[in-house]
Every structure is written in structure tokens, then in C-alpha cells.
Structure 1
């Protein structure tokens, strides 16, 4: 999951720069979308980003980009086609006909996983034609950036490792990317432009910079948390907000001068300096900036939400203790995607309602984990994305928030194939659950009774998952096993068998438990 990053991983930056010495070209490739790429299911159950654009809802998954134009009745997957591969999508931005999509994946350095930038796709005709450029990097030399009368020394980012684009924003003339160790960059939005300009932000010990200052510091993500950039929001062409591992930076002159807001430099401050999401709410002619502010280095920081009614001069905090990944709005209502699910407030954080369990009463699908990474709003429909899949609920006076859910999960169909499987497999019960997938074949009756039992290697009964549960014929189902036995104790490592009994039919499968 791309958004779930910790500051400790940045300790490896100096190791990375001492191990790898590469230069990447910025060549452009173009792909034309053709018909015939529709799908009944999304490409992945791990969802990193949601962007609603009129009737089209775009999803960044861990296996590529997809969208729906009919609220999930059909899906259009761009993974492994049209220039896209099966890398995960780490960010999406849309403005008019311009769509920008960042990719990310995992590589390994000294046997440790490293989040890596996979390049950027963009379209200028609302997704009909796509172009691809590799992850923006620098030449392998320490160079200088002209800033007013200053020449600022800039440490080059020469590799895509740790240089992953977590957020994108589009202004009238520029595309801006927040690329963590790749720092803050912008490129002219014209397709012929290929140069990414590095943007200078204050260092950790400075609260403000302008071109009229005398600058003596280096632009470096290794030396400064405030140069590790994670989030960006553009209010207008003049006002730009940037979230880093050192606070919130605001420019009112299009990205030239910057003021930094941190947990330490204001009396009414943000809750934490690690700013993983930014979004602006418009309500009754008010502009309210909301930020997902996670604790960084200072032991007095706490994760939660911070928001400002006065352009960042003072902040209020709410939802303290929750790791917030994403923020969305519907008029006065604020939605926060967190590790503990989706939260809703209509009184600016004085009280919150939790989404609770995500369960689809029609398909009988259920999310085993509450984690919510992203949220998108289309009218009264609230879209929810996370490691378990995609879901939506209606939030209206007639249908209160979270009372009814529609879930979308991808799977390998076994209908009319007389088989079953479990996924993930192997699985670790301390961290996850596994699902037993099966189908009820068409028969003379509309429903059949289903029983699923788990056995150990010696064929001793371990757990009954469901017993004589009615299931409709001609449909496919998942049943969740959390790795516990009938005594609610997590089972030992080993091979377990399960049996799906439907009428006179029995289908067997195997599950490997690794704790």
C-alpha cells in the first residue's frame, strides 16, 4: 500500500545513494485507446486512490488504473494495456480533459523493500490517448538552482527508488508532483515540455523563504524533512499548499515564496508534521484547509486531522489518534479515510460517525479489515477504497451514512468449473484473513444450503465457517476464515484442508497457515 509509509524508511536514503548510480531518460511514448477493454470487475482489490470527475469515477489500484461510468455495473481496466503495465497507481489528478496518473512498485535494496517510482501516464483528451514518461530524475551531478540572486546547491535524485510520486496537482500552466525523496517538482502542462523544475522549500530550521533572502542551505531530502514531499493541493494559480515530513508549506505567489506551518512554530498548530493529505473545503463562502497530520519526530506530536479557517494562520485539530490517509467533502460534511475505517462529521470535527463494518447484504461480501485509504464523493454516494476492495454507501436523509453498502471485489471465476480456491494462500492470521471462494451451480432450486468446514492435516475438525447457509444458485461467494478454531484460538502453522458442501457435492481445497 503506497500511502502507508513511515519516516523510518527514509533512513535508507543515504544507503540508496551510495549503492545505485543511474540516469533515466525522459522519453515520451504515446498509446491510443481502442474499444473492447471493458470488464465486469476491477483489476485489484487493493485501492490507493479515488477521483470523481462528473459521471466517471477513477480508481488507482495496485494493479493499474480503472474507471466506471455507471456506478460499478461495468469497469474499464487499463492495466497491462495501452502503455500501462500492472504496476500500482500511487496518485491521480484530473483537471478538465487532463488526466495525470503516477505509478509505483516495490524494489529491494539490501533485502529491504523500497517504494519506487514507476513513471507517469497522462492524457490531454480525457483518457482517449495516453502518453508515458519515466519517473523524473536528475543527472548524476550536484548542480545549482537559481533562486532570486541565489544559487542553491541541489542534491540530485538520480534513481526512482524512494522517488515515488504520492500526489499530483494541476494548475492552469503547470503539473505539480510530490515525489517524496524526489521532492517537489513542476512541469509546464504543454505536451512539448519535458523539463521538470525542482521547487525550493524552506529547510527544517526556516519558516519562510523568498527570492529576496540570502540562501545558504542545500536542497536535499536527506538533510531536511521539509524537502521530503508527500502531498500537494492547489487552491488557485497563486495559492499552493504542500505537505511534507516537516509540516505544511503555503505559497501565495505561484510557488516562488513559501511560508511553513509546523507543530513547533505556531501556538495553535497542526497536530503532527508528517502531512500525508491536503484538501480544501468550500462552505458558505469559507475556504477551510484540511490536512492529514501524522506524528513525525517530535514526541509531542499526535496523528489526526488539522484544519484552518484563516489560511493556515491558526489550526484546530480533531480525530486525534487516527492515521488519516485521505479527505473528501460534501457541502458541510467532511469524510476522513483512516486506518480504522471511514469517518464522517457535519460539525467540523466536534463529533464523528464511523462507517463500522462494511457488509453487502445482497452479495454477502464483507471487508475483513476496516482500513480505508481513499474516499470519493459523487452526489449522495460515498465511495470507499482500501486493501479489501471498493465499496459505496448512500449518505442522505432517507439513507443514513453507512447503513447500506455495495461492495466490489475482483476474483477468478469458478462458476461452471466445479472448483474452489482460497486467497490469499498462504496467509498469516496475525495480519490478515483468507477467503474461500466457491460457486453455486445452477440447479432445480433457486437456493442451496452450504456448509464449509476446516480440518487440520490429520483431518480433525478445526472450524465450521458456515453451516446450512442458504446461497443463491448461479452466483459466486467468498467466506472469510480468520485463522481461528472453534475455540476462538489462532491455529498453529501448517497445512489445513477445507470442504465446501453443497447438497450432494463436496469440493476440497488446501490452505497454508504461516504465522
Structure 2
């Protein structure tokens, strides 16, 4: 699941803003080709054929060269430079959902920023506004019932966290916008009725009394956590699996009837009801459905990973206490992206291996955070997306998982007039690191020394001393805000001195603000 304000799933706020639903089509001459990612904050990765699709905080990027070159689409209409919330690819059909935020007093609320569809692998795109409703309360026909339904008239909290492409149908998980589907390639969208929190299943022939409402609000409807939708999967047999804040829902008849699995309604249940990702692992003789399951409202729920080998009749759990975001597979191997790194199991969850530090020994780079938001697999290559960049590793008998990493990050290139800079400024050591960016001349040995001083020019930290960096490259060195003796640096202005063999020392500035 994408790293986009999950903490808001319990408290929904809605604003009465109605938007016109008009599709716009564009043909792209080409995206912008570069050697860098669109952004270092990578929310989504999807592998399809030889292409890796990357959703970042500054738009969509694709690579077919293992990350050595990237094509950017954020600056080419109709695609945007806003955050990509989800990507789905099925053959030449690609769907992308964008997200932004809306200021609401003292808080910032996640906001859907539209859907985009390509039917030719990204050469042409059609843009659709975020699906919204008209009016306040409606009635939805469901078999013999008419269900009172909360109309979602705004894109605020109506963000498409997941997309699944099925035969003739596109499904979207829209948080407060609920579960929706389109059978006409996005021209129109229909809300899909899911069970309320009080029922474990629904069928059109049932006599039902509940409201289709992710929140009750001022209208007095009966809210259901199971109508706050975060993930969706169309499995290989066309069954539909939907993750909500109230559990996992499964339909085998195209979304007409549903069976709900929750932490409370089974003896061997999922670990938590807040389901941020669902994926299918195909295996000889069967399949496994995996889900990233997080604690919702009940104190006996816990975050972790849950999976079933029998279509939801029973569930197994592991990695309890870990916030899992996404899941990918290579044959019998499962990879789980979590806040504490990438986990791997090759024996169906009996044992787990966690990736260590992500270090690129060729580019002399490392990822400063353990958090992994998304994972994708292309052949023997395992890709991860993080708030600090993307990376890949090989998982083969000759190259063990996590032993070799290649890191992809973006940065503003230094110019002749600016030989080095530090970012971000200011930086908060409790939440992030600061990177000192500089260029190595194309000639020379490339030995580097960087020392940091406080405002009184007293030495604080020797970051690197006489290390060799590759000639003709641009490099980041990381400072975590600690001194040589391990103390946390105080708030204030700091200076760093960059020494390159054969050149004059260069100075830069860092601002620490905790």
C-alpha cells in the first residue's frame, strides 16, 4: 500500500464540492528522458514485461533499462507532477491514479487528483476527474433491497489507493469514495455494495437493513468501516478481493454477493482489519492470497501479514508488529515491504529473512531509511521503492538476496557556479538525514574528505576521510546529525568543508532545526 496518510482512515471529513466528470484524451510525443527518477519518494512499483512503472511524489516514471534511464510523464499533459497513488497494468492497458492534499485548518487531507488510462502502453492517455457523486444521500438498488447511500461529492478523502483490471471491468479502492467499478473504460463509475460491519456476508436475495456509508456524519447514516476501501485484487479466476478498514471481502460472481473475513469472525483470522494490500501468489496445484493487515479499532488486533491457502476459510499470520505495505512474488518466494525493511520467505511463511542495509558499493550510495513502501519483481530482480529512492537486488543462487544493491536517486546536478550543496535545509535529525551533494572531476583520483564544523568553527564530525569516489560522478554523503562522539548536534548553523584531491577546499552550509 502507498504511504499516503493512512492515519486518517478512522476520522473522515467531507466537504460539499461537486466536480464535473469529463474525460480528456491526449497523445504524447514522448516523455522526458533522463538518468534520474522523477522523485526520491517512490510510492508504487509495478513490473510488466521489461518495463518498471514507478509512481513517485512527482509523477510517473518508467524504465526498461534497469534504472539506468527513466522516462518521465509528470510534465506531459494530461499526466501530472503530483503524487502517484496507484498503478495497474494489464498488457497494453495502464491505469494510474494521482493524489494531492487539501488544507483544512490545522490538518492536510489526502485528496484524489484524477485517474488516467492508456490502452497502448503509455503512448496515449485519457484523463478522468476523480469520480464523485451528486447530492447528499441516494438509494442504491441491491437485489430486493434499496440501500441508503452516502453520496461522496468531493475528492477530499476520496483517493484511489488501489486499482485492479479485470476482464471488461476496472475496480478502484477509493477510501471514503468506497469501492467502485467501471465497465466502459472509465466513462462511468458504479458504487459497489459491500457487507456492513454487522454482517459476514450479503447476497442480492437477502433482506437487508444497513447504510452504504464510510461515515455517518451530520446526515445520521450508519457508518461502516468495511465501506472504507484501501485495496483491491482481481485474481486469476476473476474472483474479486477487497481490503477495507473492516476486513477482507471476497466475491466470486463479479461483485454481486460477498463474504467478509475479519479478525473477529473467524477462529484462525487475519491479524488486523485494516487491509492495505492484497496479492495473489500462483503455485503448482493452487494459490495463496496474501494481505498486509494492520490493526484497526479493536485492541486485540495487530499489524502483520496474513495469508490463506483455502480461499479465506482459515488464515495464517506472521511478522506480527510489522507495518506491511506491499507484497510481490517470484515463483514460491514472497517479498513483503515493511517499515523495517524488505522481508523474504521461500517456505510459505515458516521462516523469514530481512534485508539488511541497502548499500550500493559501485555508486558509493546507501538508503538512509529502513522503510520500504513498495516492492516489484522482474525475473530475478527485486525492486523496492522507499521515501529515499528506489533500488534493486538480485535473488539467485549465485547472487543471494540483498548481497548486491543498485540504488536510484534523483538530485539537482551541481553546476560550475555551484560546486556542492546540502539538502534538505533545514533538516530535522529525528526524522531525516541531510545529504551533501557534490561532483567528482572526470580526471584525477577522486579522494574525498568532508568535515563538519559548528558556527564557532569547532570540529563536529568527520564525515568521510580520504575515501575514493568514481571520477566523473555526482555523489551524496549522508550526515545523520550526530557528532564524532555520538551526541546529537544542537539546533543551529553548521558548515562543511569538502576537500577533493588536486582542488581547493569548498565550503557549504547546513541548518539543523529539530
The TM tier, using the shorter chain, reads over 0.9
Aligned to 1:219: 212
Which residue is equivalent to 1:93?
88
Q: Distance in 1 between matches of 2:401 and 2:2?
A: 27
1:326, 1:337 within 8 Å by CA — same for their partners in 2?
yes
Whether the 8 Å CA contact 2:24–2:126 is kept in 1: the answer is yes
- Please tell me whether the aligned partners of residues 367 and 388 of structure 1 are also in contact (alpha carbons under 8 angstroms): yes
The match for 1:495 is 493
Instruction: Describe the superposition over 1:15-38 as per-residue Cα deviations: whole angstroms up to 9, x where unpaired.
Output: x33xx3210111111111113621
Note the C-alpha offset of 1:290: 0.4
Q: Paired residue for 1:54, among 49, 65, 74?
A: 49
Shift of 1:489: 1.0
Offset of 1:73 from its aligned partner?
Answer: 1.9
How many residues in Structure 1 have an aligned counterpart in Structure 2? Answer: 506
What residue number does 1:513 align with? 512
Pairing 1:467–2:461 present: no
Q: State the Cα distance separating 1:415 from its structure 2 match.
A: 5.5
> Paired residue for 2:202?
209
Q: Tell me whether 1:458 sits opposite 2:456 in the alignment.
A: yes
Q: Which runs of 5+ in 1 are unaligned?
A: none
The answer to whether 1:387 aligns with 2:387 is: yes
Cα distance in 2 for residues equivalent to 1:46 and 1:141 = 36
Query: Is the Cα contact below 8 Å between 2:140 and 2:148 reproduced in 1?
Result: yes
Can you list the C-alpha shifts for 1:192-223, whole angstroms capped at 9, x where unaligned? x5221000101111101111111211110111
Alignment RMSD (CA, Å) = 1.4
Cα distance in 2 for partners of 1:66, 1:77 equals 5
Q: Tell me what 2:343 maps to.
A: 343
| 3-state SS of paired residue (1:226) | helix
For 2:292 and 2:468, the matched residues in 1 are separated by: 43
Say whether the 8 Å CA contact 2:30–2:123 is kept in structure 1: no
Larger deviation: 355-364 or 139-148? Answer: 139-148
Look up the match of 1:198: 191
Counterpart CA distance in 2 for 1:109 and 1:330 is 43
Change (3 A) 1:429 1:115: same
- CA displacement at 1:5 relative to structure 2: 3.5
2:478 paired with 1:480: yes
Which secondary structure does the structure 2 equivalent of 1:337 belong to? strand
Cα shift at 1:314? 0.4
- Deviation per CA, 1:318-377: give whole Å up to 9, x if none: 111111100011111010000011111001111111111000000001001011111111
Q: Distance in 2 between matches of 1:389 and 1:10?
A: 26
C-alpha distance in 1, partners of 2:199/2:481?
Answer: 51
Q: How does 1:205-354 map to 2 (within 5 A)?
A: 205-222=198-215, 223-236=223-236, 238-354=238-354
> Corresponding residue for 2:219?
none
Cα distance between partner residues in 1 of 2:211 and 2:38: 42
Instruction: For residue 456 of structure 2, give the secondary structure of its aligned residue in structure 1.
Output: coil
State whether residues 416 and 441 of structure 1, in contact with CA within 8 Å, keep that contact through their aligned partners in structure 2.
no
Contact 1:2 1:115 in 2 (8 A): no
Q: Distance in 2 between matches of 1:148 and 1:315?
A: 31
Per-residue Cα deviation, 1:66-88 (whole angstroms, up to 9, x for no partner): 10111112110001213122100
Alignment of 1:16-31 (within 5 A): 16-17=13-14, 20-31=15-26
Deviations 1:40-97 (A, max 9, x none): 1111011111111111110111100010111112110001213122100000001121
Alignment partner of 2:226: what SS? helix
**Alpha-carbon distance change, 174 to 51 in structure 1, aligned in 2, over 3 angstroms:** same
In the alignment, is the contact (CA less than 8 A) between 1:304 and 1:320 conserved in 2? yes
CA contact (8 A) 1:137 1:160 kept: yes
Whole-Å separation in 2 of the counterparts to 1:340 and 1:280:
23
Give per-residue Cα distances to partners, 1:148-186, cap 9 Å, x unaligned. 111111101111111110000011111110000110000
User: Shift of the alpha carbon at 1:4?
Assistant: 4.9
CA, structure 1 residues 36+194, in 2 after alignment: closer, same or farther (shift >3 Å)? closer
In the alignment, the residues of structure 2 paired with residue 229 and residue 415 of structure 1 have an alpha-carbon distance, to the nearest angstrom, of: 47
| TM superposition shift of 1:187 | 0.8
Determine the structure 1 residue equivalent to 2:372.
Answer: 372
Match of 2:220 in 1: none
| Cα distance in 2 for residues equivalent to 1:121 and 1:237 | 26
Paired residues of 1:415 and 1:475 also in contact (CA < 8 A): no
Which sits farther off after the overlay, 499-508 or 136-145?
Answer: 499-508
Q: Which runs of 4+ in 1 moved over 4 A?
A: 415-418
1:42 equivalent to 2:73? Answer no
Query: Aligned partners of 2:134, 2:467: CA distance in 1, in Å?
Result: 62
